[in-house]
Amino acid sequence: IPAALHVSRVWALYRRILLLHRALPVALKALGDEYVKEEFRRHRSVGPADAQRFLREWEIYAEMLRQQANEDRQNSRKKTCFGTPLTEEKLNDFHNEQIGQLLELMQEATKPNKQFNISDVSEYKN
């Protein structure tokens, strides 16, 4: 693939994913946007084989998210579950660094939304 075509394909996929994230709940959107930005930045200078694998995986993600967003729009009563479980096979393909990133992502995604307890503020008033 010529370099200009590759760059165009990467930017189009990046924009498409960020647009698809608009269908996510607010907290997931923020987390997903940040993760996508970091991953695309991190993979700027990978070799051709890694670049193709990277793009293929993100294209699969974008398609899955598009389908789930469509389901969410059609099922106004039922809450859509976004994402998909990782198979053991996929997990085994990850490098140690990726496992660490996945753990950080899981910890961030499962944090309670409340950053502080407003009732605690009264303790500091004098």
Side chain identity at residue 54, one-letter code: F
**Which domain does 76 fall in, by range?**
3-81
User: Kind and range of the H or E element at 7?
Assistant: helix 3-20
Residue 107 counted as domain residue: no
Whether 124 has a pLDDT exceeding 80, the answer reads no
What mean pLDDT comes out for the span 18-47? 91
What secondary structure letter does DSSP report for 81?
-
Q: What is the pLDDT of residue 105?
A: 79
pTM of the model: 0.72
Render pLDDT for 58-105 as a digit per residue (tens, 0 to 9): 999 999 999 999 988 888 777 777 888 788 888 888 888 888 888 887
Residue 21 counted as domain residue: yes
CA distance 81 to 72: 9
What mean pLDDT comes out for the span 10-34? 93
Answer yes or no: are the C-beta atoms of 98 and 53 closer than 8 Å. Answer: no
Residue 33 counted as domain residue: yes
Residue 97 counted as domain residue: no
Length of the chain: 126
Residue 74 counted as domain residue: yes
Residue 103 counted as domain residue: no
Residue 95 counted as domain residue: no
Residue 41 counted as domain residue: yes
How many structural domains is the chain composed of? 1
Token readout for 45 is: 């200078």
Render pLDDT for 70-81 as a digit per residue (tens, 0 to 9): 988 888 777 777
